[in-house]
């Protein structure tokens, strides 16, 4: 388990934030092409399109929100700079729906 200081340091690591934002865009692109019958598709699609269009800073808001699950992942928190792209993408994909539901674009 990561310490609170490790979580904090991971949360504000600039290179991790940049990579998280790239992972959000990657997931958003995938979601824009998913089947309409996917659970929570309408909400996921609204968030994906808002991220891809950079609507009113929504990409930054979404990235900021998803940094908590990323930084609390024990593997990532232990070495945020050395975290693999796959680890980051996994956390983003896993948490995308929850973040989209909690932060709908307006």
Q: Report, as ranges of residue numbers, the positions in the chain whose pLDDT lies below 70.
A: none
CA 8 – CA 25 distance, rounded (Å): 23
Q: What is the pLDDT of residue 2?
A: 85
Secondary-structure percent of the chain, ordered helix, strand, coil, rounded to 5: 75, 0, 25
Quote the pTM value: 0.95
Q: What is the pLDDT of residue 55?
A: 79
Tens-digit pLDDT profile for residues 44-71 = 999 999 999 977 799 999 999 999 999 9
Q: What is the pLDDT of residue 106?
A: 81
Q: What is the pLDDT of residue 54?
A: 77
Looking up tokens 């340091």, which residue turns up? 9
- End-to-end Cα separation, the chain, in angstroms: 36
Q: Is the dihedral of CA 58, 72, 12, 17 positive or negative?
A: negative
């Amino acid at each position: 388990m990561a310490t609170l200081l490790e979580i904090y340091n991971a949360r504000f690591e600039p290179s991790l934030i940049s990579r998280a934002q790239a992972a959000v865009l990657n997931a958003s692109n995938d979601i824009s092409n998913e089947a309409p019958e996917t659970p929570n598709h309408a909400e996921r699609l609204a968030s994906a399109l808002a991220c891809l269009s950079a609507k009113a800073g929504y990409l930054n808001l979404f990235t900021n929100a998803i940094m908590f699950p990323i930084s609390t992942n024990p593997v990532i928190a232990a070495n945020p700079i050395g975290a693999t792209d796959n680890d980051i993408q996994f956390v983003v994909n896993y948490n995308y729906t929850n973040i989209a539901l909690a932060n709908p674009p307006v």
